[in-house]
Amino acid sequence: MENMYELIAPCHFGLESVLKREILDLGYEIVTVEDGRITFRGDVTAIARANIFIRTAERILLKMGSFRATDFDELFEGTKAIPWEEFLPRDAKFWVTKATTNKSALFSASAIQSIVKKAIVERMKQTYRVERFEEDGDEYPIRVFIFKDQVSIGLDTSGTSLHKRGYRTLVGKAPISETLAAALLMLTPWNKDRVLVDPFCGSGTFPIEAAMIGANIAPGMMREFTADCWGKVVPKKVWYNAYDEAEDMIRRDVQMNIQGYDLDPEIVKCAKANAKAAGVGDYIHFQARDVKDLRHPKHYGFIITNPPYGERLEEKEALPALYKTIGESFANLPDWSMYLITSYEDAEKYIGRKADRNRKIYNGMIKSYFYQFMGPKPPKNKEPKEQ
């Protein structure tokens, strides 16, 4: 019987439903859905496939164990009881990168980190019969969550956060993360046969993520993961097979109509370079253009965007006029839909209509709203086709 593991996938608060769908589509069983994270079950191939294929998780953690702890002794003993030697080789470089705690007796992150590390060292000493570890081998970062005194410990199989796909080397001033952009796209009914325009495209994240979804390009294809070299846990062959699977699934002959505009010609150049690096340069048309000049001959298209929301005072003053312009441009596209994420509380007031739906979403630490203005559905026999 193949070893089964529990994996923890953290995500943006409010986007658990999208991540859950992705995990089920990959064929894995959901164990629990909590605020900002989902635990699921899979075999060893799930470690590689989840890292390479999932668009909306921040990282994939291999769950090592969970137990209750209301003091440091219980934390120490609970951690020490986990069979670390089955996963960590003798020369492993291991440390607790992060401890988060909420509604629990244990609240000092730095103390939790050092106790967990000590407990793992004690456990490893018994197995490897050495007093100290050189830690000059491969990296095994560890994360600890404590919620209502329930401790969960996981090995971080991803390393650098999964939003870093490897294509975005050049960034605008208020970029949206790749995982958040992908999740928001997946909350809309947009598909590759429908026009998509981002009139505030910045470094291109929305158009690029949309093109990758449309061409079925796995988000993790162009990067490496910490667990790539964990021979004791995930054999190399498992990674090669997952990368091959991703390669086979790309739709190279897909036709799409995706456009990105920005006022700044320099940032438009940067978006083009990022799209090319992502392998989707041919699917997106970028140009320097003002939102007031937004026109489109096609029907039933989508505007999906992250407009400025005035984090700085002098920008705040320009917001009413800017959102009024967004509303006017959208009104000129009567059968289109518009989805925008912003922290600007008066967005609807100046756009000039109430959103059909609105979700609260945290963009980093900023409380934002995802406003959804739904256009009519295209008639069944007239699905808009590409030229």
Residue 70, domain member (yes or no): yes
Residue 43, domain member (yes or no): yes
Of 41 and 379, more confident: 41
Domain of residue 354: give its range. Answer: 178-215+256-382
The reply to whether 52 and 113 lie within a common domain is yes
CB of 310 closer than 8 Å to CB of 318 = yes
Task: Please check the confidence at residue 170 and state whether its pLDDT lies above 90.
Answer: no
Q: Is 20 helix (H, G, I), strand (E, B) or coil?
A: helix
What CATH number did the domain enclosing 128 receive?
A: 3.30.2130.30
pLDDT of residue 386: 45
The reply to whether 201 and 319 lie within a common domain is yes
Summarised one tens digit per residue, pLDDT across range 123-153 is 999 989 988 999 999 999 999 999 999 999 9
Across residues 13-32, what is the average pLDDT? 96
Residue 282, domain member (yes or no): yes
What CATH number did the domain enclosing 339 receive?
A: 3.40.50.150
pLDDT of residue 171: 72
Q: Total structural domains in the chain?
A: 2
DSSP, res 103: S
The reply to whether 192 and 63 lie within a common domain is no
Task: Please check the confidence at residue 219 and state whether its pLDDT lies above 80.
Answer: yes
pLDDT of residue 182: 98
Residue 221, domain member (yes or no): no
Q: Burial, 166: exposed, middle or buried (Cβ in 10 Å; 0-12, 13-18, 19+)?
A: middle
The reply to whether 44 and 88 lie within a common domain is yes
Q: Model-level pTM? A: 0.94
The reply to whether 207 and 343 lie within a common domain is yes
The reply to whether 152 and 184 lie within a common domain is no
Residue 234, domain member (yes or no): no
Percent of the chain with pLDDT over 70: 96
The reply to whether 207 and 112 lie within a common domain is no
Full 3-state SS string of 125-189: HHHHCCCCCCCCCCEEEEEEEEECCEEEEEEECCCCCCCCCCCCCCCCCCCCCHHHHHHHHHHCC
The reply to whether 146 and 207 lie within a common domain is no
pLDDT of residue 146: 97
Least confident of 217-226, 323-332, 359-368: 359-368
The reply to whether 196 and 146 lie within a common domain is no
Task: Please check the confidence at residue 196 and state whether its pLDDT lies above 80.
Answer: yes
Task: Please check the confidence at residue 25 and state whether its pLDDT lies above 80.
Answer: yes
